[in-house]
Amino acid sequence: MKIAMIAEHANPLPAHKGEPACGDSVQIAALARHLAKAGHRVTVYSRKHSPGLPERSRMGRGVMVEHLSAGPERRVEEGAAAEHTGAFAQTLGARLAEEPPDVLHAFGWTSGLAVVSAVQACAEDGAQPPIVQTFRSLNAAEQRAGLPERPDRARIEAAVAGHADQIVVGSADQRFELARMGVPRAKVSVVPFGVDTDHFNAEGGSSADTWSPRRGGRTRMVSVTDLAAGGAEVLIATLRRLTDAELTIVAGPGQEELPLSDDARRVELLAKEAGVDDRLSLTGPVDRKELPRLLRSADVYVSGAPYELCGGAVLEAMACGLPVVARGAGVVNEAVLHGTTGTLLRAARPDALARAVRSLTAEPTMATAYGIAAGDRAASRFTWERVAAETERVYQRCCPAQEAELPYAAGDGAH
C-alpha cells in the first residue's frame, strides 16, 4: 500500500540531538517506520521550515520525507502556519497528482484542511484517494477543559471531519466531541499515542545528576511540560505544599534557549516568590536518548496541565516505571488506570495534586506496585507496533481492495 502522510507543521527527520522531539513528529516518525516494516511504502509531506532542509530525504527503508515550499522557511506557530496552508495545499496537490497514493493520512487540523483542498484538485483528474484524519486534539474538548475558545479552528475541524473517510482520535472523549458534531460513530477510531518501550523502560541507569542531583531523602517529582501552557505554575504551587519534595520540570520542545526564555524567567520568579526555588530544577528539553535516565531517577510523574494534548510524556514516564498523578481528561484517561497505575483527579489543582502525591509516597509498597503496573500497561497496550497495526486496520476500512495485498494481517504482532 502507498501511504501519504501529511504533517504540515511537523518534521519526522532526526533533529540535531538525534531524534524528533515534538509529539507530532515523534508519532509520525514511529508510525511511518513501523508501517514500512510491514511492507508498505510511506511518503511524509511537511512544510519546509528551514532553508537547510532537503526537498526529498530518505528517512529509512520504505519511508521518504518531502519538504514542500510554502511560506517562510522558518518555524511558525500553529495559527500562523494556517495562513500558509493554501500554498502548502497547492504544492501538495501537484505532488499527489504526480504520485497518487492509495490512502492519505492527515495529522492535525491545518494538514486536514490542506488535504481536503489538494484532494479536490486531484478529483478533477479523476483520482481521489480516501482520507484518514488524525486529530491530536479538538478545540471543543479543549474548551471543556478551560482552554481558550478558537472559533475558526473549531469550524475547520468540523468541516475536515465531514470530508474525511475515517477519523482517528486519541481518546474516547474526542470521539464523544465528534459525535456531538454529527460525525457517525462508525467513522471514528480511537488509536492512542504510542511509546518506544525498547528505549523507555524501567531497566538501566537512573542518575539525574547531570540535571538536578537529588537532595537528601526528598521525594522527587518530575514533569515534562510546555512552560507557556500554565502547568508549571500549578506544579510550583503544588511543591509549596509538599515541604519534603523536590521537582524537576523538563521544558517542552521548542524551548532550547531556556536561559533566554521569558517563560522560564517567569517560572523561576514564581518559584522564588513561593520559596521553593531551592527545590526546583528547570531544564531545557532533554535529549531523548537521556530522558529515560532522568525519568527513572524520580519517584512520581506529576502533570499540572488542565489538558494533555497527546500524552506522550505520560506514557514515557509509565514505561519507565513511574506512577502518574494527573487530571483525568482526554488521552490521560486512556493511558492511566486510576488506582492501578496512578491517580486521576477531577482537576489539576495544587491541593489535590499535593494530596495525591502525599498519599502515594506515604505507602511505598503501593507506589511501587503502581509503577510496576504502569510499566506493564505501557508495554502491553501502547507500543508503536500495536499502534501502527491499529492504524493499518483503519486504512483497510478505507481501502478494502488493498487488504488482500497486505504483507500480513493487521492484527498480527499486536500485543
> Could you report the per-residue pLDDT of 134-151, keeping only the tens digit for each?
998 899 888 888 888 999
With a cut of 90, say whether residue 327 has pLDDT above it: yes
8 A C-beta contact, residue 312 and residue 10: no
Q: Which fold has domain 219-381?
A: Rossmann fold (3.40.50)
Confidence of residue 52 (pLDDT cuts 50, 70, 90): confident
Task: Give the domain ranges of the chain.
Answer: 2-194+383-405, 219-381
User: What was the pLDDT predicted at 295?
Assistant: 95
Task: Give the end-to-end CA distance of the chain in Å, rounded to a whole number.
Answer: 23
User: What was the pLDDT predicted at 410?
Assistant: 41
Angle between helices 23-37 and 384-398 (to 10 degrees): 70
User: What was the pLDDT predicted at 122?
Assistant: 63
Q: Which fold has domain 2-194+383-405?
A: Rossmann fold (3.40.50)
* Arithmetic mean of pLDDT, 253-260: 53
Residue 34 vs residues 10, 60, 196, 262, 388: alpha-carbon distances, Å: 18, 10, 11, 39, 6
With a cut of 50, say whether residue 41 has pLDDT above it: yes
- As a whole number of angstroms, the distance between CA 107 and CA 184 comes to 20
User: Residue 149 burial (CB < 10 Å; 0-12/13-18/19+)?
Assistant: exposed
User: Closest Cα to residue 271, out of 252, 250, 255, 247?
Assistant: 247
* Arithmetic mean of pLDDT, 371-381: 97
The answer to whether the 2-194+383-405 and 219-381 domains have the same CATH topology is yes
Please state the length of the chain. Answer: 415
pLDDT tens readout for residues 381-392: 999 999 999 999
Grid cell at residue 191? 488509536
User: What was the pLDDT predicted at 330?
Assistant: 86
Residue 361 phi, psi dihedral angles, 5° rounding: -70, -20
Q: What type of residue sits at position 35?
A: L
More confident residue, 146 or 324: 324
8 A C-beta contact, residue 401 and residue 379: no
For residue 339, the SS3 value is coil
- As a whole number of angstroms, the distance between CA 261 and CA 10 comes to 22
pLDDT tens readout for residues 155-213: 999 999 999 999 999 999 899 999 999 999 999 999 999 999 999 999 977 665 555 66
